[in-house]
Amino acid sequence: MKRELLKFAAFAVFVLLLPLLFQGGYLMNVLVFVGINTMLAIALNLLLGYAGQISLGHAGFFGLGAYLSGILTVSYGWNPWQAMPVAALAVGCLAGLIGFPILKLKGHYLAMATLGLGIIIYIVFNETIDLTGGPSGLSGIPNIALGGVTFDTDVKNYYLIWGFTLAVVLFSINLANSRVGRALRAVHDSEVAARVVGVNARILKVQIFTLSAVISSLAGSLYAHTMTFVSPASFGFNFSIELLTMVVIGGLGSVYGSFLGAALLTLLPEFLRAAHDYDIIIYGGLLMLMVMFMPGGLVRGIPALFRKLFKPGGGAGHA
Amino acid sequence: MNCRVISFLFAAAALLLSADVFAAAPIKIGALFAVTGPAAFLGEPERNTAKMVVDEINRAGGIKGRKLELVSYDTAGDATKAVQLATKLIKDDKVVAIIGPSTTGETMAVIPVAEKEQVPLISCSAGSKITDPLKKWIFKTAQNDSLAVGRIYEYLQKNRQTNVAILTVSDGFGASGREQLKAQSAKFGIKIVSDDTYGPKDTDMTAQLTKIRGSQAQAIICWGTNPGPAVIAKNVRQLGIKTPLFMSHGVSSKKFIELAGEAAEGVKLPSGKVVVADLLPGSDPQKKSLLAFIKDYQNHYKTEGDHFGGHAWDAVMLIKAAVEKGADSSSAMRDNLEKIRGFAGIGGTFSYSAKDHAGLGKDAFVLVEVRNKDWVIVK
């Protein structure tokens, strides 16, 4: 555990010092979104990587958080600090209610059910025009303010978002190393075996699904107050798939893997922009290569690559 | 060591200064278009046109000796990406003005960035809430939906077809059209007897049309972009509905006639003048611009220019007009744009003012009808 804390401290220092490199540039703006996507990838990873339950509808929870925060602040004049927890609570209740029937399903059926859930939420955003503004979106969402400081620039937002992200990272590491984390992995490997040793798999799955939705909702609220605008297109099926890709590319069952996956998938398109019309091909090609040669994700693949490069002959086996 | 650092700094400073003194440095214009993704039918002609016009201006020696440099990015129709790229254009590329984005959703997302960084943005999307309420740094070239709705209602009022059925697509374009159709109906004495929507990817609308057939409607107004309206036109034929069918300006391109085939005959719609440019009387102020745009586009891309490309043509030309009046900074650009009056472009004759950043009147639209696979102007 002490080693984990040291690792986290190093990560936190890295995150806090990073803006010094990009003072003012637009990459700061992209790094804000890396933070949001890291939260989302961790949320999905808790469900998929630890508990082994797939969700293709996480963009829906993300969107619900964003819209609830947006509507409560714009239409009802709430303070963002009130709107965020209320949104998270509401999304948590919804996820808990839906979780019971949905998580009885397994494999492809669970994938289909969560996919459907995501699409239904997306349609609601589009069709309830009086409430959400419909397809052309909801604008004028206020920035978050704290003790006289309004988070209205990229640098300020960076520290706000990453403050939350680091909290989620720390919480998730603790969770993964606790009794609950071990129970989750047991459910992942064999639900029957887990139940035999006294894990209430059914309740546990609903709990982790709810937690995952709450973190996603929080990320959504932060997104809304950073962008000051939300529209349904950002919370569609494509984004659910992108989140899934982040988790798989980064490394299933690894909190830092989620960060690597989110960082890569958010930053890569920005760097490939120089390749103009070929960027999509290169992007797709790179993802394919990574899945083929780093099946454990970046978090395991990169160290393995280093060992191979720098310790010829003796590398493999010493994990 | 120190000496070297100092001499290097001097050299760097000299370089910076000379760049400043060098008057012919190009004026950087940013562009955000949805070249890929679901809105590519807007973004692609827009980007092509913007490139074409900027190249032409530069080939002719630039504007008062200064060339334009276009920095164009693809937003893929995604609001988050549009915001990131707008930030990139402003902070890294240091553009003085931005053209685009292509869709209303993206534009609404980018507006806070442009307002905060004080860079003029000329949107190529139609939503009326972009410039209403007025925002200091935001302009637009695409015609407001309200003008298109007005054109149809005016015609219906004149022909005493006051009971209408509306069928709108459930995306940004359709939602905005539906809002306007409902909002303006009272003003023209129109009664909406049936109000239905369809999904952007639906392939059969007979259910909605059967319902409309049973209503008192004297006209059907469909609001959407290809391919939905073509399906509706075909379904209307199949069901043998004789009620006249009206479409929006969202389908005023040859593509619609191709998709709907025979079923397009007799369909009426409000359209920018670009599709009927050669039918316009010589006295029309826009005719010269329209014919030039159509010819250029044909030469460059071997295909017909449409009014989507026209939005980008107007945006670049408006910037050109502002630069001609001596603007090379963001704030001067904004002030000069606001002073533009009577600029005859593709979308209409633009007259911006401190109270109006959309700049078009209802003469921006003509009502056209499909006859023999081509457009004719309805008088």
CATH number at residue A44: 1.10.3470
CA nearest neighbour of B173 among B148, B156, B151: B148
Q: Is residue A231 part of a domain?
A: yes
Q: Is residue A69 part of a domain?
A: yes
For residue B69, the model assigns a pLDDT of 95
**Mean pLDDT across A169-188:** 93
Q: Is residue A29 part of a domain?
A: yes
Residue the block writes with tokens 């520290």: A159
For residue B1, the model assigns a pLDDT of 47
A25 pLDDT exceeds 80? no
Whether residues B133 and B67 fall in one domain: yes
Whether residues B231 and B327 fall in one domain: no
Whether residues B175 and B233 fall in one domain: yes
State the residue range of the domain holding A22: 2-310
Q: Is residue B21 part of a domain?
A: no
In angstroms, rounded to a whole number, what is the distance separating the alpha carbons of residues B150 and B289? 25
Q: Is residue B20 part of a domain?
A: no
For residue A180, the model assigns a pLDDT of 92
The answer to whether A278 and A62 have CB atoms below 8 angstroms apart is no
B-chain CB neighbours of A30 within 8 Å are 84
- Give the domain-ending residue among B210, B244, B271: B271
Q: Is residue B34 part of a domain?
A: yes
For residue B12, the model assigns a pLDDT of 56
Widest Cα–Cα separation across chain A: 66
Q: Which residues contact B316 (CB under 8 A, 6 or more apart)?
A: B29, B49, B50, B53, B54, B57, B68, B99
For residue B319, the model assigns a pLDDT of 95
**Cis-peptide, bond into residue B133, ω within 30° of zero:** yes
CA nearest neighbour of B200 among B170, B167, B223: B170
Q: Is residue A116 part of a domain?
A: yes
A-chain CB neighbours of B176 within 8 Å are 136
User: What's the ipTM?
Assistant: 0.80
CA nearest neighbour of B246 among B227, B225, B228, B229: B229
For residue B166, the model assigns a pLDDT of 96
For residue A280, the model assigns a pLDDT of 83
Whether residues B168 and B224 fall in one domain: yes
E strands, chain B, where? 27-33, 68-74, 97-99, 121-123, 138-140, 163-169, 191-198, 219-223, 245-246, 268-271, 343-344, 349-350, 366-371, 374-377
CA nearest neighbour of A137 among B105, B238, B168, B251: B105
First to last CA, chain A: 18
The radius of gyration computed from the CA coordinates of chain A, to the nearest angstrom, equals 20
CB contact under 8 A, B91 and A152: no
CB contact under 8 A, A26 and B111: no
Whether residues B154 and B224 fall in one domain: yes
Report the run of H or E that residue B16 belongs to, with start and end: helix B2-21
Whether residues B168 and B112 fall in one domain: no
Beta strand pairing call for B219-223 and B245-246: parallel
Q: Is the CB of residue B94 less than 8 Å away from at least one CB of chain A? A: no
Q: Is the CB of residue B30 less than 8 Å away from at least one CB of chain A? A: no
Residues of chain B with pLDDT under 50: 1, 19-22
Whether residues B153 and B133 fall in one domain: no
CATH of the domain at B292: 3.40.50.2300
B-chain CB neighbours of A134 within 8 Å are 170, 172, 175
Q: Is the CB of residue B39 less than 8 Å away from at least one CB of chain A? A: no
**Residue in A24, A29, A229 closest to B79 by CB:** A229
Q: Is residue A39 part of a domain?
A: yes
A71 pLDDT exceeds 70? yes
Q: Is the CB of residue B184 less than 8 Å away from at least one CB of chain A? A: no
**Residue in B36, B88, B108 closest to A137 by CB:** B108
The answer to whether A69 and A220 have CB atoms below 8 angstroms apart is yes
Position A316 confidence tier, pLDDT thresholds 50, 70, 90: very low
CA distances from A195 to A179, A185, A188, A189, A190 (A): 15, 12, 12, 11, 9
A315 pLDDT exceeds 50? no
Q: Is residue B280 part of a domain?
A: no
Helix (H, G, I), strand (E, B) or coil at A301: helix
Q: Is residue A125 part of a domain?
A: yes
Backbone φ and ψ for B369, nearest 5 degrees, come out as -130, 145
**Residue in B91, B92, B127 closest to A136 by CB:** B127
Count of domains for chain A: 1
**Mean pLDDT across A143-169:** 93
Position A312 confidence tier, pLDDT thresholds 50, 70, 90: low
State the residue range of the domain holding B31: 26-143+287-361
B-chain CB neighbours of A234 within 8 Å are 78-80
Query: pLDDT tens digits for A180-226?
Result: 999 999 999 999 999 999 999 999 999 999 999 999 999 999 999 99
Q: Is residue B293 part of a domain?
A: yes
Q: Is residue B35 part of a domain?
A: yes
A300 pLDDT exceeds 70? yes
Report the run of H or E that residue A145 belongs to, with start and end: strand A145-146
Widest Cα–Cα separation across chain B: 90
CB contact under 8 A, A29 and B80: no
In angstroms, rounded to a whole number, what is the distance separating the alpha carbons of residues B27 and A242? 37
Q: Is residue A317 part of a domain?
A: no
For residue A170, the model assigns a pLDDT of 96
Residue A78, both tokens: 């709430």
Q: Is residue A316 part of a domain?
A: no
Whether residues B190 and B218 fall in one domain: yes
B-chain CB neighbours of A126 within 8 Å are 170-171
For residue B21, the model assigns a pLDDT of 45
A317 pLDDT exceeds 70? no
For residue A319, the model assigns a pLDDT of 41
Count of domains for chain B: 2
Whether residues B205 and B300 fall in one domain: no
A311 pLDDT exceeds 90? no
CA distances from A279 to A269, A271, A274, B378 (A): 7, 9, 8, 46
